[in-house]
Amino acid sequence: MGKRSQNEQVYTDLEIIRRCSAGEVRAQEILYRRYFSFAMSVAIRYTCDKGEAMEIVNDSFMKVLDKISDFDSSRSYRSWYGKVVVNTAIDNYRRSLKHTAVLPLVDLGATEELEPEIDNELTVNDILSLFSKMPEKYRLTFNLFEMEGYSHEEIGEMLGITASSSRSNLARAKKMLRKLYIMNFIGEERKNEAI
């Protein structure tokens, strides 16, 4: 993305938003670049790959531009935009739901007794790699509940499922993450104990 020019650093978010509302293309570019990393960090948690995350970021930014004149300047743009990205990811999930393969949950119960020691050396890529191996509905439920703070009732409404299904998805997501962590990051002797 390169360095920001001095003009980009001088503008406040509210000034850029005002200019975007007036249709200034340069202001739209500045706003997109300023929040690209943030939006990508949110979107990547809801997808399997960077290309799909990029699509979510671009779609969400187009939604922002469509509604920019409705933005409440007493609120934080960052949190407003974050919600738009999350909602766009959910829309993306709903569109692709009919194409989602269901993965069998084999031996998830075996990991319940073994609580692995968490490796403090895990990188963001390690964590994203674990998330990418989970079925989309579990990844979405986990992110919405644990990362975004939505209730199971809210998640159920967003995803078109019951609150109890959301709770079940979250429990299964946690079990699957535990198993994936053990399989990918714990030594062979601990793996054998877990299996």
Question: Do 90 and 112 fall within a single domain?
Answer: no
Is 20 contained in some domain?
A: yes
Rounded Cα distance between 49 and 53, Å, is 6
pLDDT, tens digit, 9 for 90 and up, residues 26-71: 999 999 999 999 999 999 988 878 899 999 999 999 999 999 999 9
Higher pLDDT, 191 or 34: 34
Question: Do 84 and 129 fall within a single domain?
Answer: no
pLDDT, tens digit, 9 for 90 and up, residues 116-162: 444 456 677 777 788 888 888 898 899 899 888 899 999 999 888 99
Length of the chain: 195
Considering the chain, what is the average pLDDT of its residues?
Answer: 81
Structural domain for 123, as ranges: 108-194
Q: Which whole number is the average pLDDT over 91-110?
A: 58
pLDDT band at 5 (very low <50, low <70, confident <90, very high): low
Contact of 57 with 92, CB cutoff 8 Å = no
In this model, does residue 12 exceed pLDDT 80? yes
The three-state (H, E, C) secondary structure of the chain, written as one string: CCCCCHHHHHCCHHHHHHHHHCCCHHHHHHHHHHHHHHHHHHHHHHCCCHHHHHHHHHHHHHHHHHHHHHCCCCCCHHHHHHHHHHHHHHHHHHHHHHHCCCCCCCCHHHHCCCCCCCCCCCCHHHHHHHHHCCCHHHHHHHHHHHHCCCCHHHHHHHHCCCHHHHHHHHHHHHHHHHHHHHHHHCCHHHHHHHC
Query: Which of 99, 122, 138 represents a domain boundary (last residue)?
Result: 99
Return the amino acid letter for 54: M
Question: Do 65 and 112 fall within a single domain?
Answer: no
Domains held by the chain: number: 2
Domain at 39, CATH number: 1.10.1740.10
Higher pLDDT, 5 or 147: 147
Radius of gyration of the CA atoms of the chain, in A = 20
Is 25 contained in some domain?
A: yes
What is residue 9's predicted lDDT score, i.e. its pLDDT? 62
Question: Do 57 and 114 fall within a single domain?
Answer: no
